[in-house]
Structure 1
Amino acid sequence: MVEDVGTQPNRVTAELAHLQLRELLAEVQGRIEQIVDGTRGRMDALLDAVMAVSSGLELDATLREIVCAASELVSARYGALGVVGSDEKLAEFVYEGIDEATRDMIGPLPTGHGVLGVVIDEAKPLRLRDIAAHPASVGFPANHPPMRTFLGVPVQVRGEVFGRLYLTEKLGGQEFTEDDEVVVRALAGAAGIAIENARLYQHARRREQWQRATADITAELLGGVDPGKALHLVASSAALLAEADFAFIALPVGDGEDTDELVVAVCEGDGADVLIDKVIPVDGSTSGSTFVDHEPRNVSRLAVNLAEGTGLAFGPALVLPLGGGESTAGVLILLRTVRAIAFDEEQLDMAASFAGQAALALEQAEVRLAKHELDVLADRDRIARDLHDHVIQRLFAVGLAMQSTHRRSVDPTVAARLADHIDQLHEVIQEIRTAIFDLHTNDESLRATLRSTINELTADTGLRVSVRMSGPLDVIPAGTAGDAEAVMREAVSNVVRHARARELSVTVSVDDELVIEVVDDGIGIPEVVARSGLSGLANRAAESGGTFSVSAMDTGGTRLVWSAPLP
């Protein structure tokens, strides 16, 4: 059979068309396989990223992992996650791609202005070819690396916006695509769940730490720790748990809650000691407001700048009442540095609870201390009564018996020895009486003050010092007690500086009047000293209606006597 020659070109054309179609289909199939492979690879990368951000429970680490995963997913050079605060501004900014040296040169972290603010305000994704071309763009600060392409996606936790994920500078100079946006939105959804889990864990751990600290503080305070140390313990523990840089405790000046001023009594933090004794006015200050209305406060800065003139710089603050109900013993102030992130409401609640419990423990510790002091005083009274009612009475009986024996003695030697023993017995009785008076006084008594003054002035002088005190020194009026201390200081210091003495004898007695006698074996006091320093002692005696005299002794040395009548 002979084929028609005219049909051959048509067959060739058909075969060529089929061949081209096969090649096109093969190319399309290859492209589809590439897309599928690319999509599968991107989905695998997304799943890996979701697993990475969901594996941790530390909030800070989780936020950083989210930024790193998002940057890697869409090949972004720079990434950041801005955490939105209660004022709808960025309270925290976690970034990736900028080294610390560049970060320091840039200055303060963003707070949500410009394009970043658009993502915050509109709460929806934003994809830009050029950041600078957007109407809301406000430019970049000095030393900021150049950024052109931009992708911003909100991150939600339980339906509320937690923060914004920002990505810039896609590698290769390309724009962020719609696929990039879809992938990042998917990651943001998973990130919200991871953030919620991390926040729950952080909340539970924080509460446990605060509760443990409260229990430890209470145990320390009720264990009898010194009140000053107790306040330092409260301040340091609160600063550590609240992640604060500084902690202060301000106490009222003068008349409790009716005071007009607070004074800083406790400081914790580097360089914070410069604020010790710093006075804070109650009127117009954040601390004063908390002291008056007993309400805890979380503020961006204090109304009165405590750091003025100190070289310190304070930023966010928690101001907490030390007490509860209608009574406040003071104010606990926790501070961060000027550029630090603000305290959150959870920290405010926990710190306020801690401060209230610490104040209650302080109050209980003071009650226990007062009870202990009352118990000690009761023991002292009991011992004093026993000494007076039993020991002294028996000694008196012995003394009377010895006096009776002395009168009947015919041997002069025996009589002399009995008289000497009787005198010694009277001295013992007088010393016991002095001990009884000591038992009725505390460590801040006039007796202790005078002894402390004498020891202070004669230490390392080589003087042989004898001190004798008798009578109820610690019941004399406060004004006379002040005069007594001044007289003792002036008289003893004159002996130390001018007398060149080897021995010093001090006698203080109280009967109808207070009498101070200071005797030395030195060369006497120069006339110039007698005219100047001793004139003050004479004036004190005259003002109180007493007497004052200085005289040279026949055996050498000087005798000073100062007296003041008692009511």
Structure 2
Amino acid sequence: MSRADSPGPGELREGAAPSLVGTLSRLRLKELLAQVQARIEEIVGLRDRMDVLLEAVLAISSELELDSVLRRIVRTAIDLVDARYGAIGVLAPDGSLSRFIYDGIDEETTRRIGHLPTGHGVLGVVIEADKPLRLEEIAGHPASVGFPKHHPPMRTFLGVPIRARQETFGRLYLTEKVGGGQFTEDDEVVLQALAGAAGIAVDNARLFEEVRRRERWLDATGEITAELLAGTDSIDALQVIAERAAELTHADFALLAVPARSDDVETEELVVTVSAGAGVEELVGQSLPVDSSVTGQVFRERVPRNVPTLTTIEGAAVQLGPALAVPMRAEGTIAGVLLAVRRAGAKRFDEEQLLVVSSFADQAALALQWAEAQAARRELDVLADRDRIARELHDHVIQRLFAIGMSMQGTQRRAKVPDVAGRLTEHIDQLHEVIQDLRASIFDLQVAAEHPTGFRNRVQRVVTDVVGDNPIRMTMRMAGPLDVLPPRLAEHAEAVVLEAVSNTVRHARASELSVTISLDDDLTIDVTDNGVGIASTVAHSGLHNLAERAVQVGGRCTVDRMPTGGTRVLWTAPLRAAPG
């Protein structure tokens, strides 16, 4: 090429420019394509995460047990943001952590660490700020208080609040990004979305739990009502109330205190009637002063209380802690106070439990009151029947027996054969005895109508309770106006019958037992059995009280072994020497 053909400097630059521009354009295009590809991958990855998030939300929403919901949330959060450790802290009313559900730390490590977090340090910052917190280095945050001994190392951190019904339920915490990286803004967005869905799931689970709890309380109330309708003794019904209260509040113990006299609402002391739970059995029968005890104040004010720590009751074998003290109110009256108690240092009861237990106690009190009214009506019906029977016996049966007796006396006077006259005399005497027994029965029926807890009824209950299911064939006969015995003599008589019958049941190995109690000028108690006889050791110890009681009332007591086998206890006391 000749010099003249060579391009000049200007021509060289003009020719090279298109090539350089093309090169730069290609570089920019590659860069843009790389960015687009990265963004597409990011979008695809985000879409995959959204798919996983959607599946997680559906899975969480399908759970109804609150504990299962919380554990599913933690596990899902760990998977979504590639974290090693995750936890949910549930807030207590005072802002501290009442529960801490975690994942990623094994049980042995947890045991070695000791106490679970309570909401201090970085966890407390998330609680106080009530907004997301993302950290590259936990130790670098001013609020960091370090980790306890044996705690696994944790560097990165991401925490978000969980809200249910416009209130903050708890916090979701994630630490240690897998691979040593940092939690990203996308991680935070995904976790917030999960927290939103978790709040709805938590709310549903809490509603389900509340419905089930109320169902259990309703079942307990129904059980108590059914027991009372079936005629269960009121003490047994109170025992069921205490047991269900302890069971359904997750309390360690339950106590039920009532006025010393059931009709005394202005009483100065309450008496523990029943207990549930190990360690408080000795408290049954313990008196609680109304003016200087929480139980008494609840009784006087008729207002339920959630007590942080119940003052230890004298006689308790354990230290008492948080308690619910609720009055048992029914139609303007108060039957007593129900206490649900946990051990010292245990978690306090929440206000929802106080409301539910209070409602349960009121329903139980209503059931008790209604059952007592039903029992009173039944007793009135029985007394009315007794009065009617007494009138019919007096007006009809005795009059007819008198007529028969008079007719037999007329026949006796005309009898010529001595044997016939003797038999008639014997039958007339027997007829007089029948009339006397009928008169005594009529008197007892009338007294029972006026005094339903008279001596006869008390003695019958005592004997029935002592004999129980023992296969002894027992006969009991009572004659005379026993229900008008002076109180002191009646008390001795009951004790004598109890002691004599108890000795027979425990020691005599008898198949037959006869108890006869009669009253004319003297009170006579005759207890006879067909057993092996009472051993000398028993006669000198168990029966010593019988002789002592006889001496105290001016009477006498003899214990004889029958010729045909068995034992006879004969106890007598003069009526005139027994002041009331």
Q: Give TM-score, length-normalised by structure 1.
A: 0.81
2:83 pairs, out of 69, 76, 82, with: 76
Alignment check: 8 A CA contact 1:541 1:564 kept: no
Aligned residue identity for 2:351:
E
User: How do 1:193-272 and structure 2 match up within 5 A?
Assistant: 193-207=200-214, 210-211=217-218, 213-215=220-222, 217-242=224-249, 244=251, 246-254=253-261, 256-269=264-277
Residue in 2 aligned with 1:166?
A: 173
Residue of structure 2 in register with 1:397 after alignment: 403
- State the 1:337 CA deviation: 6.1
Amino acid at match of 1:294: R
Of the candidates 418, 421, 427, which is equivalent to residue 421 of structure 1?
A: 427
For residue 86 of structure 2, give the secondary structure of its aligned residue in structure 1: strand
2: CA distance, partners of 1:528 / 1:273: 34
CA distance in 2, matches of 1:383, 1:533: 41
- 1:303 alignment partner in structure 2: 311
Q: What is the aligned partner in structure 2 of residue 25 from structure 1?
A: 32
Q: Is the 8 A contact 1:108 1:339 kept in 2?
A: no
Q: Does 1:565 align with 2:575?
A: yes
Please state if 1:52 is matched with 2:59: yes
Deviation at 1:77, TM superposition (A): 1.9
1:497-516 counterparts in 2 under 5 A? 508-516=517-525
* Preserved CA contact (<8 Å) 1:508 1:516: yes
CA contact (8 A) 2:546 2:557 kept: no
C-alpha distance 488-244 of structure 1, shift in aligned 2 (>3 A): closer
Matches within 5 A, 1:406-445: 406-439=412-445, 440-441=447-448, 445=454
SS at match of 1:398: helix
Amino acid at match of 1:292: R
Q: Does 1:332 align with 2:338?
A: yes
> Is structure 2 residue 175 aligned with structure 1 residue 177?
no
Q: State the distance in 2 between where 1:98 and 1:252 align.
A: 53
TM-score by length of 2: 0.79
Corresponding residue SS for 1:415 = helix
The answer on 1:187 being equivalent to 2:197 is no
Residue 380 (structure 1) aligns with: 386
Contact 2:271 2:285 in 1 (8 A): yes
Structure 2 distance, partners of 1:505, 1:168, is 84
- Alpha-carbon contact 1:525-1:558 (below 8 Å) kept: no
Aligned equivalents of 1:136, 1:23: Cα separation in 2 = 46
What residue number does 1:472 align with?
A: 481
Give, in angstroms, the shift of residue 358 of structure 1: 1.8
SS in 1 for 2:420: helix
Amino acid at match of 2:371: A
Worse-superposed segment, 265-274 or 83-92: 265-274
Q: Measured at CA, do residues 517 and 216 of structure 1 come closer, stay the same or move farther in structure 2, by a change above 3 Å? A: closer
Cα distance in 2 for partners of 1:202, 1:526 equals 64
**Per the alignment, do residues 230 and 168 of structure 1 end up closer, same or farther by CA in structure 2, a change over 3 Å counting?**
same
> Which residue of structure 1 aligns with residue 493 of structure 2?
484
Instruction: Say what the alpha-carbon RMSD is for the aligned residues.
Output: 4.7
- Is 1:320 paired with 2:362? no
Which deviates further from its counterpart, 398-407 or 524-533?
A: 524-533
Q: Could you tell me whether the CA contact under 8 Å between 1:318 and 1:334 is conserved in 2?
A: yes
Q: 1:291 to 1:132 in 2, by over 3 A?
A: farther
The residue aligned with 2:48 is 41
Structure 2 distance, partners of 1:140, 1:305, is 41
Identity, % of aligned pairs?
Answer: 52
Tell me what 1:287 maps to.
295
C-alpha change, 1:366 and 1:33, in structure 2 (3 Å) is same
Residues 517-538 of structure 1, C-alpha deviations (whole Å, 9 max, x = no match)? 679999x999999999998767
Matches within 5 A, 1:101-180: 101-180=108-187
CA offset at residue 377 of structure 1?
1.6
8 Å contact 1:222–1:364 — kept in the other structure? no
* Stretch of structure 1 that moved more, 462-471 or 322-331: 462-471
How far has the Cα of 1:364 moved from its partner? 0.9
| Equivalent AA in structure 1 for residue 574 of structure 2 | A
Q: 497-506 or 219-228: which moved more?
A: 497-506
Deviation, 1:184, is: 1.8
Residue correspondences, number: 563
TM superposition shift of 1:249: 2.5
Q: Distance in 1 between matches of 2:246 and 2:500?
A: 50
